[in-house]
Structures are given as C-alpha cells and as structure tokens.
Structure 1
Amino acid sequence: MRRRTEAQTPSNEFGKADKKDLDQRPQSQAETKGWVSYSSFFINIGKCLLLIIIIPPFLNYASLQREGQMLLPKDGQIVDVGLGQKMHLLCKGQGIPVVILDGPTGMSSDIWVHVQESVATLTKVCTYDRMGLGFSKRLMENETTGTEKVWGMSTTGRMVDDLHRLLQAAGIAKPFILVGSELGALNARFYSHIHDVQVSDLVLIDPIPEDIFEEEQWNEHWHGKLLPSLQANQFSAATGLSRMLIILGVIEPIIKGENVSEEVIQRQKYLLSNPAHQSSAVDEHYFVNESAAQVRDITKFKPLSSRTPVSVITGDFFDEQIPEPLNQMVAKLQKKFLDESYPSANHIHIKGADWRMIYKKPSAISQHLRRLVNQRQVKQQSE
C-alpha cells in the first residue's frame, strides 16, 4: 500500500505542474499580445512622424517650383548680368532721371511697392532683387565665378558689383537717383563713391553707421538675437513648417492692407516658405559687419564727389522693436558718421517712424523723391 501511494505521489506532482503551466500559458500569451500591440503602436507612431518629416518639405518644394513661375512680376525681367548670373529687375514708369531703389537687409524688391507706384507716375523707377533674394537666384558653390573671392559673398562689395553689371546690362539711363535703405544705404554709398558720375543724387534711409558693430551691446543684439531668429526661419522654411504656419495664419506677410495687391501678398508668402531666399537673408545679416568695413575703407580711399547731393531720411527710431538704449546708440553713431562723411547732407526727419517707413509711411519718402525728380527735370529742361 505504501508503495502504491508513493507511486502515485509523483503523478500528483506532475499533475500539479501541468496545471500550473496551463495557468501560466494564457498569462504569457496575454503578455506577448500586449507587447505586440505596444510594438505596433510605436511603429505606427514612427510611420506618422516619418510622414510628417518627409511630406511637408516635399510638398513645399513642389509648391515653390510652381509658384516661382506664377508669381514672377508681370512687368519684371530676368536680366543676364554675365558671369553666369541672372537677376530680377522691375521697372515702372517712363522718363529721366531714373530712380534706383535698394532695400534693407534680407528684403526683396516688394518692400518698395508703395514708393515705386507713387514715384513711377513722374519717371522711371526700378527695383531689383539682390543675388539670392526674391527671384535673383544665387549660383551654387561649385558654379562660382570668383567674384565673391574678391569681395566675399553677400557683402556690399559683391552687391555693388552685381548692381553695376545689372544696370549696364539693362541699359539704364545715367545719371540716376540712387536710393538705399539700411544695408541698401551701405550699397548706395559704396556705389556712389566708386561710380560717382553715374549718380545724380544719393538718398540714404536709416543708414547703418560704419562702426556700429564695435559696440558690444549691438553685437549681442545682432548676432545673439536677430541672427538666430533668422536661422530659425531658414530651418522652418526648409522643413516646410513655414508653409503650414502660413496656412494656419500664424505667420503673416509684413506688407499688407487694402492698397496691397493679392499678388504681392502671395509673393511674400512664397518667399517666407522659400529656404533659398531665407538662406540669403541670413547671409546678408551675417556679413553686415564686413559690409560696413568695406564702405568705411572705400570712403577713405575715394571720397564722394562734391557734385553729388546727399539726402538722409531717418525716423524717431532705427527699429522700434529693439530696446530704447540701442536706438539711442544708433542715432548717436548715425549723427557722428553723417557729420564726418556727409556734413552738407539734407537731413529729413519722419516723426514716429523707423526703418519700416518704406511700407508703413511711404508717402514721406515718395514726396522727397518726387521733389528730387522734379528738380532734376527742371534743370535738364533749362539746359
């Protein structure tokens, strides 16, 4: 009897073990199913993220290709300026003297839309996109012509060389009235000092003082705050995020209102989404210090002709969105360099304005330019 009982004991133990395995099997199967479902969830999340990363840039690129042709201004022309380069030039109106407008750092020619329309009723007015901005495509690095090796890419010396070749190729009548705002003012000064016989009048709007970047506070603002924000815009455009934010209404064009055409508004959206334009805007800001140094050197080497009248237009602020101490610093340095470089300049003050007066208070600029045009036309008739 004992033997039978002993023989049965292992059998009972195995039975208990089998029962235990059966109890654990559903639990392990449930764990496996749970793991599979978690894995599928993360895989699906990964696929969605991959689509989010890939699709917006692809759609943005496709849209840019289509819009680049559609939004080119009807009156504009793409001019072959030699050295394998082509630039966008937009001229309106007829007559002489011709007025040439050069915009602020990183801005396309649309910034002048109000001023150009107003002055074009009197004479021919031309705006252009600097290389890399707007519709003036910059050469790829491996297609370099060597010009930037002389002056440096996106510096005033290079821009002035580009502008000179553009005006020559387009057959613009000389002498012309040259107008520059901010960085455009550096370009206009450089151009006028080198090609003085081609410029009848020089107009500077909120010019950048040559030695502004010697001030630590300004360097911190320009390179520590402004430049990183522009680099973020460049990244946003490259990833297609800017286009999505524009569609959602988070990003809006700076030039808007009842008097702004839908074409101009759509063109601004196109440029906000265009990584090539944004990249060139970053480069222009990055090299402004070098541009200012080039202008300082050229003015010492070749002073401006006494036959070239100079007008300077400034507002209450250089930029109302920066701290007051920085605006006061710019105003002080502006006065210093104007007294030293252009002591006889006609200084016009626009109350309540900053560099945005080009599109926010364009009538003040237009009135002065129309007055200059009238004076030149009367003088030409008398001669």
Structure 2
Amino acid sequence: MRRRTEGQELSEEMSKADEKDVDQAQPIQPKVKSSFRYGSMLMNFGKFLLLAIIVPPFLNYASLQKEGQLLLPKDGQIVDIGLGQKMHLLCKGKGSPAVILDAPTGMSSDIWHYVQESISSLTRVCTYDRMGLGFSRRVMQNKTTGAEKVWGMSTSGRMVDDLHRLLGAAEIVMPFILVGSELGTLNARFYTHIYDVQVSDLLLIDPIPEEVFEEDQWKEYWYGKLVPSLQARQFSAATGLSRMLIILGMIEPTIKGGNVSEEVMQRQKYLLSNPAHQSSAVDEHYFINESASQVRDIMQFKPLASRTSVSVITGESFDRQIADNLNEMVAKLQKKFLDESYPSASHIQIKGADRRMIYKKPSAIIQHLRKLVNQRRSKPQKE
C-alpha cells in the first residue's frame, strides 16, 4: 500500500471541510426565501398604505371641485357683496313682508328646507350661507373700509355686517321678518338692534343665552366634547374618509325622507365631505362665546325699538342628546335673558322638541311664521 503524501492528506481534509460547510449552509436557504417573501409583503403593504393615504383625499378634492359647480341650487345666486366677498342667497316665492332665515351654528341654508318650501307659497322667503359655509366661499383677509369696524371672521359682528351688505345688494324689500336659530339668534338680535328700521318682526328659535358660556359645566361640554367632535369631522372630510363612509352608508345627511329631493341630499353629502365647510363650522362653534359677548355689548349700546315685535320658540329641552342638568341650565338662563331683554316677547314651547325642530318638527315654526306674515300684512308698520 502506497503511503499518502502530506499534500493528499491536506486535500482530503479540505474536501471534507467544504462538504461540511455545504451541509451546514443548506438549512439556511429556506430562511433566505422566507425573509424575501416577508420583505416583499411589507413593501406591498407599504404601497397599499401609501395609496390609501394619498388617493382618497385626492379623489375627494377632485370630486368637490366638480360638485361645487353642479350642486349650486337652481334658484340660488352668488351675490357680490363688495370687499371681494361673494355669498350664496336662495330666495323663493313672491310677496311681502319677506322672511329672512339665519341657520343654526355651523349649518348651511339647506337646514331650512321644509320651512322655506312651505312659507314660499305665502310670501318671499330667503335663506343664505354664512361666509365659509355652504356655497359662500370664505375670504381669508378681512378687507374693510375705514368706516367699518373689524370683527372676527366667525363672529356675529362680522356675520351681521355680511348679511347687511348681502340684503342690500340683493335689494330685499324692507321691513322684513328676521328669523334665527341658535347662533342665528345671536346674529338676528345683533342685526335687529342695529338696523331696527329694517326688521318688522324678530323670531328666535332655541336662542342661546349669552351667560351660558360663563358656566363651567357648559364650557366643558361645548369646548371639551362638542368642538373636538367637530374637529374630528373636519379631519375626516380632509382625508376623504367622510366620502367613503357616506358611500358605505355609515354617514347620512341630516335632512332626509320622501319629501327631500335628490338634489338636496347630494348637496348635504357634498358639504359633509367638504373640509372648508367643516372648518367654518368648527370656527363658528369655537368663537360663539365672542359672538355672545358682542351681542351683550350691542344690546347695552342700542336697546331694541318698540316697533319690532319679538317672539320665541323653544322645545322641551335644548338638546335631548346632552345631560339633563345642561338642558336645565340652558332653560333657566333662557328664561332669565328673555325676562330681562325682551319681557314683552311671546313664547311658544313645542312638546317633544329640541334644537332639531327646524327639520324634525317644522310645522310649529311654519304655523307661527304664517301668522306673523298675515298679521304684518293687515297691520301697517309703526313709525
């Protein structure tokens, strides 16, 4: 037997070592494939997540641009009120006195749908969108002339100034009946105290008493719960989530039913998906305390003329979805401010109603407005 050389022994050892390395490497191959698949899944998920974040807001924005032109009410008009501002005004019916309706906090003119449709058979009735809401585009800069006082964008002072210029530009026959609900009552009171010659009758629906915002419990509810919920709605609209939820039927328009046209339904869906509208709604709620202070100041500066009649409509509660103690607080302060500010006002309370009566129980409002119109027609305006 031939002896192996040292080179042969070394070669055999290296060959065995290579085989051992190969044997040890073989079990690792499936792990490499598994890691590759996992990385691929993460990449695909990342792409999907990126699309889910970018695409809905983009599609929502594109849809809003198209809908903003198509969904403007057929009878509505965009009125140039000066200072670079344009506002949406919708008037129906003919006759006098005209009825002007000012919507609740953060809501568009569509909220008056039932009331306007009914009263338009009797006289001319007009609704409008406050700046930033509905089809009244917000002007970012507060342009004023030297003779005008500068008010906060989403406060009653500014809203009343806008409304005054709107009614003048639209040539609304005066005096008219002015109706407000919630924030609209603050605006209507402010307007009537300043321009009392223009208003024959003032109707307040669910008036917000100024002193309620001095109560800690109410401020906790309003700024601790209500405003954040509206900010969440604004974020949902901005991300396109609201549009998706509307498509899925998880968010529905406020006004619905067999008597509501498809046009009104689509308009409400448009506004629910519109972050600009939702942003203005948030601002109106956030600055309502300042609006209340402005109204208190203006009432002290200029008391209401005796020629203007005042009537008030409230429900059994302000909002049936909030705590009883808050409703009791509002009712108590409502009575106090009415006794002090409008002691001769007629007060109507609607059983089973709350602040949603405008669209859930509009018959009482419609009946009272018809009465006011007929009374004003039969009785000349006092000098």
Please, what TM-score do these two structures have when normalized by structure 1? 0.96
| Aligned CA distance change for structure 1 residues 358 and 4 (closer, same or farther; 3 Å) | same
1:145 aligns with 2:143: yes
In structure 1, the residue matched to 2:336 is 336
In structure 2, the residue matched to 1:306 is 306
Pairing 1:135-284 to 2, within 5 Å after superposition = 135-139=135-139, 141=140, 143-146=141-144, 150-284=150-284
Pairing 1:6-45 to 2, within 5 Å after superposition = 9-45=9-45
| Aligned CA distance change for structure 1 residues 53 and 381 (closer, same or farther; 3 Å) | closer
In structure 1, the residue matched to 2:326 is 326
In the TM superposition, residue 149 of structure 1 has moved relative to its aligned partner by 7.9
| Aligned CA distance change for structure 1 residues 66 and 343 (closer, same or farther; 3 Å) | same
Distance 2:252 2:219 in 1: 28
Pairing 1:60-71 to 2, within 5 Å after superposition = 60-71=60-71
Instruction: Report the 3-state secondary structure (helix = DSSP H, G, I; strand = E; otherwise coil) of the residue aligned with 1:173.
Output: coil
In structure 1, the residue matched to 2:378 is 378
Superposed CA deviations along residues 216-269 of structure 1, whole A, max 9, x for unmatched, are: 111111011111110010000001000000000000011111111111111100
In the TM superposition, residue 33 of structure 1 has moved relative to its aligned partner by 2.5
Structure 1: which 5+ runs fail to align? Answer: none
In the TM superposition, residue 66 of structure 1 has moved relative to its aligned partner by 1.2
In the TM superposition, residue 7 of structure 1 has moved relative to its aligned partner by 5.6
Which amino acid counterpart does residue 22 of structure 2 have in structure 1? L
8 Å contact kept, 2:193–2:302: yes
Which amino acid counterpart does residue 20 of structure 1 have in structure 2? K
1:92 aligns with 2:92: yes
Instruction: Report the 3-state secondary structure (helix = DSSP H, G, I; strand = E; otherwise coil) of the residue aligned with 2:160.
Output: helix
Tell me the C-alpha RMSD between the 2 structures: 1.9
1:316 aligns with 2:316: yes
Identify, as 1 or 2, the structure richer in helix. Answer: 1
- 87-96 or 5-14, which moves further after superposition? 5-14
Distance 1:103 1:248 in 2: 28
In the TM superposition, residue 3 of structure 1 has moved relative to its aligned partner by 7.6
Distance 1:364 1:320 in 2: 18
Instruction: Report the 3-state secondary structure (helix = DSSP H, G, I; strand = E; otherwise coil) of the residue aligned with 1:224.
Output: helix
In structure 2, the residue matched to 1:105 is 105
Distance 1:150 1:326 in 2: 34
Which amino acid counterpart does residue 288 of structure 1 have in structure 2? I
Instruction: Report the 3-state secondary structure (helix = DSSP H, G, I; strand = E; otherwise coil) of the residue aligned with 2:307.
Output: coil
Which amino acid counterpart does residue 32 of structure 1 have in structure 2? V
In the TM superposition, residue 32 of structure 1 has moved relative to its aligned partner by 2.7
Superposed CA deviations along residues 163-194 of structure 1, whole A, max 9, x for unmatched, are: 00000000000000000000000000000011
In the TM superposition, residue 379 of structure 1 has moved relative to its aligned partner by 1.7
8 Å contact kept, 2:100–2:176: yes
In the TM superposition, residue 40 of structure 1 has moved relative to its aligned partner by 1.2
| Aligned CA distance change for structure 1 residues 303 and 2 (closer, same or farther; 3 Å) | farther
In the TM superposition, residue 299 of structure 1 has moved relative to its aligned partner by 0.5
8 Å contact kept, 2:233–2:278: yes
In the TM superposition, residue 70 of structure 1 has moved relative to its aligned partner by 1.2
In structure 2, the residue matched to 1:287 is 287
Superposed CA deviations along residues 117-157 of structure 1, whole A, max 9, x for unmatched, are: 11111110000000000000001x3x441589821110000
Which amino acid counterpart does residue 84 of structure 2 have in structure 1? G
| Aligned CA distance change for structure 1 residues 238 and 149 (closer, same or farther; 3 Å) | farther
| Aligned CA distance change for structure 1 residues 300 and 382 (closer, same or farther; 3 Å) | closer
Distance 1:149 1:3 in 2: 114
Which amino acid counterpart does residue 19 of structure 2 have in structure 1? K
| Aligned CA distance change for structure 1 residues 149 and 46 (closer, same or farther; 3 Å) | farther
Which amino acid counterpart does residue 75 of structure 2 have in structure 1? D
Distance 1:349 1:381 in 2: 27
Which amino acid counterpart does residue 73 of structure 1 have in structure 2? P
Please, what TM-score do these two structures have when normalized by structure 2? 0.96
In the TM superposition, residue 31 of structure 1 has moved relative to its aligned partner by 2.9
Structure 2: which 5+ runs fail to align? Answer: none
Distance 1:20 1:353 in 2: 86
In the TM superposition, residue 37 of structure 1 has moved relative to its aligned partner by 1.7
| Aligned CA distance change for structure 1 residues 149 and 192 (closer, same or farther; 3 Å) | closer
